[in-house]
Chain A
Amino acid sequence: DADVTQTPRNRITKTGKRIMLECSQTKGHDRMYWYRQDPGLGLRLIYYSFDVKDINKGEISDGYSVSRQAQAKFSLSLESAIPNQTALYFCATTRGTTHTDTQYFGPGTRLTVL
């Protein structure tokens, strides 16, 4: 089984709808991240969480919110989706205690906002 899973894998929605993307991990890591990927732009950090009680904004948090329901679960919400939020979204985890820790990424969620 995959260490990091994301649901749904694909989602098409309409402008103004509320959308939730979910991420679960079995690595036992405390630190979890949400990234957005647009063509030709690499990945940009949306939100990150160092433990269940910790939430931090990343580079591009406007229009998004997150919830850390448990150590293993980190959800990303779009309260009112807009077309420029159409992108590929990745969840990642890391033990994160040193510079040398590796990030483990999920398979991604492709979101289309019409």
Chain B
Amino acid sequence: DAKTTQPNSMESNEEEPVHLPCNHSTISGTDYIHWYRQLPSQGPEYVIHGLTSNVNNRMASLAIAEDRKSSTLILHRATLRDAAVYYCILVKTSYDKVIFGPGTSLSVIP
């Protein structure tokens, strides 16, 4: 099964953009790229997903490499509330093979 690789931790200054990278070199054609985040003492929450094209929503943007072997979650202006663990996962149709790795712990500095 395809897996993802993310940096263990990253730091960002408040109100600056943050680019969170994810490598998924063994991604298959049927895998969607999903991002979730987990705020302290909470369950994970959905952020964004995509297949091939870049995606934008009110929370973030997702940039997907042309070969789909990597992607980047972009937070346009980091706030203190964005401090969380961010998970990049690959999803087939049923979430039965989803693997949540350790994720990237994002710290936001005031």
A98 CB–B CB distance under 8 Å: yes
Q: Are A106 and B93 in contact (CB under 8 A)?
A: no
Nearest-CB residue, chain A, relative to B98: A45
A94 at the interface (CB under 8 A from B): yes
Task: A48 to B94: give the CA distance in the assembly, Å.
Answer: 10
Residues of chain B with a CB closer than 8 A to A68's CB: none
The stretch among A13-21, A33-41, A74-82 that forms the contact with chain B is A33-41
Q: CB of A44 within 8 A of chain B?
A: yes
Say yes or no: A41-B102 contact (C-beta < 8 A), given A98-B93, A100-B49: yes
Q: Chain A interface (Cβ within 8 Å of chain B)?
A: 4, 31, 33, 35, 40-45, 48, 50, 56, 58-59, 90, 92, 94, 96-108
Q: In chain B, what residue has the closest Cβ to A2?
A: B43
Which of B42, B46, B92, B103 is in CB contact (< 8 Å) with A103?
Answer: B46
A104 to B45, CA, bound (A): 7
Interchain CB contact under 8 A, B91 and A43: no
Neighbouring B residues of A58 by C-beta, 8 Å: 96
Contact call A42/B103, Cβ cutoff below 8 A: yes
Number of residues on chain B facing chain A (CB within 8 A) = 25
- With a cutoff of 8 Å between Cβ atoms, the chain B residues found around residue A100 in the complex are 32, 49
Interface of B with A (CB < 8 Å)? 30-32, 36, 41-46, 49, 51, 87, 91-96, 98-103
Interchain CA distance A100-B31 in the complex, whole Å: 10
A44 touches B96 (CB 8 A): no
User: A102 contacts B32, CB within 8 Å?
Assistant: no
- Nearest B residue to A110, CB-CB: B41
Question: Contact between B87 and A42 (Cβ–Cβ < 8 Å)?
Answer: yes
Q: State whether B43 touches A31 (Cβ < 8 A).
A: no
Residues of chain A within 8 A of B32, CB atoms compared: 99-100
Cβ contacts under 8 Å, B42 to chain A: 107-108
Indicate whether A103 sits within 8 Å of B100 (C-beta atoms), given known contacts A42-B87, A90-B43, A92-B43: no
